Amino acid sequence: MSNLIDIQGQIEKLQKQASDIRSREFDKTMRDILSTMQAFGISIKDLQSASSKAGKARPAQSTKRGRAKTAKADKSGAGTTVAPKFRGPKGETWSGRGLMPRWMAALVAQGSQKEDFVIKS
């Protein structure tokens, strides 16, 4: 029967193999993505723009060499940046999510409508 030290050695060996495979697949995937981007003339700016227009939560963030984080916050979309939907007279912005900011609440209380502050694309 194997002892704990043997099993830990096997685990380390398997983790190294998994890391090597992940690295090879990551590099190949990156080459494929770059090739496709070049073929269609897609830039990083295009991807960022499309991402913000889609309004969807981003997929799990990648860590070193492409491994995905699995934090609960990633599943809920918490912490993702959303483009502003409203702009106040002093340049304040609000995405339209969460509680209404004080600057807008004050303006609405004075008789303004939320729609008066919508950022027109």
Q: How far is residue 49's CA from residue 107's CA, in Å, rounded to a whole number?
A: 31
For the stretch 1-24, pLDDT in tens is 578 999 999 999 999 999 889 888
Instruction: Give which of 55, 118, 115 is closest to 86, Cα–Cα.
Output: 118
Residue 47, pLDDT score: 85
**Rounded mean pLDDT, 12-37:** 90
Higher pLDDT, 43 or 77: 43
pLDDT in tens, 52-98: 777 655 555 555 555 555 445 455 666 788 899 999 999 999 999 88
Domains of the chain: which residue ranges? 4-74, 86-117
Mean predicted confidence (pLDDT) in 34-61: 77
pLDDT of residue 1: 52
Q: How far is CA 42 from CA 55, 83, 105, in A?
A: 19, 21, 41
